[in-house]
Amino acid sequence: MWRSWSSRPTRNSAWPARHGSSCDAHEEYRSDRRSPTGSRAPRRRGMIAMQDRFLVEEQFANDFSGLDPLTIGEVVKLLAQPGVILDAPKLAGEWSKVLLGLSEVEVPERDPQYGDVAWRENAVFRRLAQAHLAWAQWLDGVGDEAGGTWESKERERYVKNIVTSTLSPANIAATNPAAIRKAIDTGGKSLLRGGRTFLTDVLKNGGLPRMTDTAPYEVGENVGVSAGTVVYREDMFEIIHYTPSTELVHERPLLFVPPQLGRFYILDLAPERSLVEHAVSSGMQSFMLVWRNPRKDPQTGDGTWGIDDYVAAVVRAFDVVTAIAGTDDLNVLGFCAGGFTSALAQAHLTAKGRNPVHAATYLVTMIDTRRPNLVTPLSTPGTTRQIEKLAKKNAVIDAQRISSHFAWLRPQDLIFGHVINNWLMGEAPRAYDLLAWNDDQVNLTARFIRDATRLMGDGSLVEPGAVTILDTEIDLTALTADKFVVAAQTDHITTWRPCYMTARLLGGETEVAVTNKGHVQTVVSQIAKSRQKFWLAPADTDDPDEWMAGAQEIAGSWWPVWSEWLSKRAGDEIASPEALGSRRYPPRDPAPGRYVRE
């Protein structure tokens, strides 16, 4: 057993999930659009003809793109499996049916690549689509290693989705009927516009198409607009104190802890779509921790920020908020990595003999990684070596590189749908606030990536005392605060079953809500005109599927149920404070503050 995570040899280290960057905004923007193979996966932008995965990754050791574990070696390994060769006649038979017009392969109507009607009504294009989809379905069904681990199977699906999504005839102007029709209707101007857009994206967007028009959105103007003021600022974070909107507020304050991997205003996206707004209108004294975007200038020292630094920062935030509210304790809401960090802060304080958190909410927060998820399977020794090298250099990873990696997690929705719209059709991307937030990326320190992946890589956090943070042994089972755990049924990063297990890992009474949406849309769960539903029940079993079978299905947003749960744990009602902050922590800049603009 090891005692310090910072010196522990790693097993199954993996890139941490980014709630904001691998944005599932397309769950709403492109509802019900799915991969023909049903999988989600990122893709390496440059493939090298080399079968040895580790040699390839070593070659990219000084480039963040090398952190992506996929190489041509993985593809060769997949295609060389005996099952691929033995099952090839089945594919040949289906292709024969396609050629003769007898295939029953369905071309989906709601699909980012095959949405145009010509893919179903034109005989030539229907055959092209059916041939590709038949191949994707065939590849999805072959090559699975008998008795293989779930990690190996997930990694295989990861590779399959890359190959099939990339090699679609819809991605080529000459074989895309919508692009051809558009070019004819515009006299070729659509191709010229698309060509200019392509060159711009190559030069300014890392070679990927823009997902949305961000121009209409400005933080503090029409996104992130909840009234408040910055009451605390230090090098790593700011704290916003929000203006109450009710005459009475609950005595115990609520602190939001967003992920380090995205801008905080996903929790305060827009009026009627803001969880902060809902909390404030429910009488909660609400505060927001705003992480500073790590600067790439080595003189700032931001590259030294690791998990210890972030946990210590959360502890300081606890102290500031309770001092302003004049209380001994507080409630906390952590989103994804923010929930992960706040849980570690609570465990650290508990080991020190105090824990000021009375009740905790965890949104799509995965701590126990022993059940299928997207984090663990993408771990390789090669990625571990490269992250370690960058961490030793105190490197700060550029936001654009991070964004491109997470975009490849869902290539059909986040890449090729926009390739078709922007490059082949010559259309401008649509304006959409959730995608604009997704485009507003942040840097990450290599040390944080290294530390988070070590902690999550092999599930050691579930073992009391196996991990040390800030010189204290971490025992998450010792946390006694009541919990409200929210998971997302279609989350492709922190999948819902491991998130459910967060409720079983931590102590205290627990309520669990599983929404029918994805990672980010679960947070933006507006009440009015809600198309969501969720399942609700206490976490009374270690089997997530057994829990789901017995949970109550409820139509609408989970926000009202959560705020009612929280109000019972938020203390007595008192008169709203006449001023924000306190004498020790006076008001500074108006919300949304300074750091969100860096």
Bridge partners for 274 per DSSP: 268
DSSP category for residue 243:
P
Q: Rg of the Cα trace of the chain?
A: 24
pLDDT of residue 88: 83
CA distance 282 to 567: 8
**Is pLDDT above 90 for 142?**
no
CB 534 within 8 A of CB 558: yes
Contacts with 262 (C-beta within 8 Å, 6 or more apart), sequence order: 18, 19, 20, 21, 437, 441, 442
What is the reported pLDDT for 145?
52
Query: For residues 558 and 363, what is the distance between their CA atoms, to the nearest angstrom?
Result: 11
Q: Is 336 a catalytic residue?
A: yes
Counts of helices then strands in the chain (DSSP H, E): 22, 16
Q: Is the CB of residue 338 less than 8 Å from the CB of residue 486?
A: no
**3-state class (DSSP) for residue 483:** strand
pLDDT score, position 16: 34
Q: Please report, for residues 101, 129, 178, 423, the alpha-carbon distance to residue 125 in angstroms, rounded to integers and kept in the order given.
A: 12, 6, 10, 20
Type of residue found at 426: G
| pLDDT value at residue 89 | 87
When pLDDT is averaged across residues 208-234 and rounded to a whole number, the result is 96
Q: What is the pLDDT of residue 375?
A: 72
Judge whether 157 and 141 are in contact, CB under 8 Å: no
pLDDT in tens, 407-457: 877 888 889 999 999 999 999 999 999 999 999 999 999 999 999 888 887
User: CA 469, CA 464: separation in Å to the nearest integer?
Assistant: 12
Exposed/middle/buried for residue 30 (C-beta within 10 Å: 0-12, 13-18, 19+): middle
Q: What is the pLDDT of residue 75?
A: 60
Q: What is the pTM of this model?
A: 0.85
Q: Strand pairing partners for 515?
A: 488, 534
The residue among 138, 92, 132, 141 whose CA lies nearest residue 108 is: 132
Give the mean pLDDT of the chain. 86
**214 within 8 A of 578, measured Cβ to Cβ:** no
pLDDT at 227 over 50: yes
Tokens of 590: 């108006």
285-323 pLDDT per residue, tens: 999 999 999 999 999 999 999 999 999 999 999 999 999
Of residues 407 and 579, the one with the higher pLDDT is 579
Q: Which is more confident, 158 or 274? A: 274
pLDDT at 348: 97
Residue 529 pLDDT class (50, 70, 90 cuts): confident
Say what the pLDDT of residue 77 is: 66
DSSP state, residue 338: H
Per-residue tokens: 457: 């890589």
pLDDT of residue 389: 93
Q: Distance between CA atoms of 131 and 461, rounded to whole angstroms?
A: 46
The Cβ of residue 446 has, within 10 Å, a number of other Cβ atoms equal to 25
The candidate with the shortest Cα–Cα distance to 336, out of 292, 375, 372, 309, is: 375
Mean pLDDT score, 266-271: 97
How does pLDDT run across 338-383, given as a tens digit for each residue?
999 999 999 999 999 999 999 999 999 999 888 877 777 666 667 7
Q: Which of 104-118, 361-375, 500-514 has the lowest mean pLDDT?
A: 361-375
Candidate list 70, 231, 269, 336, residue with the active-site label: 336
H helices present in 101-233, as ranges: 118-121, 123-141, 150-166, 177-185, 189-204
Write b or e for each residue in 361-385: b if 16 or more Cβ atoms lie within 10 A of its Cβ, otherwise e: bbbbbbbbbebebbbbbbbbebbbb
Q: Which residues contact 240 (CB under 8 A, 6 or more apart)?
A: 228, 229, 230, 231, 287, 288, 290, 591, 592, 593
**Residue among 340, 325, 330 nearest 258 (CA):** 340
User: Cβ(63)–Cβ(42) under 8 Å?
Assistant: no
Per residue in 1-29, pLDDT tens? 233 333 333 333 333 333 334 445 544 44
In the chain, the domains with their CATH numbers are 69-170 (no CATH), 228-395+441-597 (3.40.50.1820)
For the chain, report the end-to-end CA distance as a whole number of angstroms.
Answer: 41
